[in-house]
């Protein structure tokens, strides 16, 4: 039912670095069109950032969105968040970290949290350096997830999708500098 792009170790203070917004796929030098990009209308690179933890590169994040994306209201738009991992993590650890981060935006009913974490752990693959996990936000409908451009699954739970993507894009994120870079704000 659910999948994650979890920011492993994100609750620990980290430094986010990024690049300019508004690049098209071709301008960003991206590889051939990935299956997840087909779910978006002319995706453009909106922002990018690097997560480091005590100087260790954890992953690079990219936010892809269509022209007209409003960074003040990301939940109202279709977008994709793509993480390229620089370190190996188990899917189970990513799922557990995701739930910790999702709770930053407010309490989650314990039964719902347990279901979300169990579903994430069952669906998420282990990752190694260079692996990519992408999540596509479908406003009001849920999300779809991909590992190295292979479809993993989707969720029809908009509450999960809102909380999940708030890990990076929400005002309660543990990484406000990363959020600013992804949303194209200085």
pLDDT reported for residue 28? 44
pLDDT exceeds 90 at position 14: no
Q: How far apart are CA 130 and CA 87, in angstroms?
A: 8
pLDDT exceeds 50 at position 8: no
Instruction: Decide yes or no: CATH 3.90.950.10 for domain 14-182.
Output: no
pLDDT in tens, 79-96: 999 999 999 999 999 999
Domain ranges of the chain: 14-182
Write out the two tokens for 50: 């690097």
Record the pTM: 0.81
pLDDT exceeds 90 at position 122: no
Q: How far apart are CA 68 and CA 165, in angstroms?
A: 19
Q: What is the mean pLDDT of the chain?
A: 83
């Amino acid at each position: 039912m659910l999948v994650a792009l979890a920011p492993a170790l994100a609750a620990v203070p980290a430094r986010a670095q990024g690049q300019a917004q508004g690049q098209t796929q071709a301008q960003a030098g991206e590889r051939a069109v990935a299956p997840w990009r087909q779910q978006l209308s002319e995706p453009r690179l909106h922002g990018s950032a690097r997560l480091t933890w005590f100087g260790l590169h954890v992953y690079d994040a990219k936010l892809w969105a269509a022209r007209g994306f409003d960074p003040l209201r990301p939940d109202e738009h279709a977008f994709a968040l793509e993480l390229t991992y620089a370190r190996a993590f188990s899917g189970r650890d990513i799922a557990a970290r995701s739930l910790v981060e999702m709770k930053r935006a407010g309490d989650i009913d314990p039964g719902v949290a347990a279901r979300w974490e169990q579903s994430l752990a069952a669906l998420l693959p282990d990752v190694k350096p260079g692996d990519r996990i992408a999540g596509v936000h479908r406003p009001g409908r849920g999300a779809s997830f991909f590992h190295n451009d292979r479809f993993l699954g989707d969720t029809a739970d908009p509450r999960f999708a809102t909380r999940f993507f708030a890990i990076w894009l929400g005002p309660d994120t543990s990484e406000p500098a990363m959020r600013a870079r992804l949303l194209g704000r200085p």
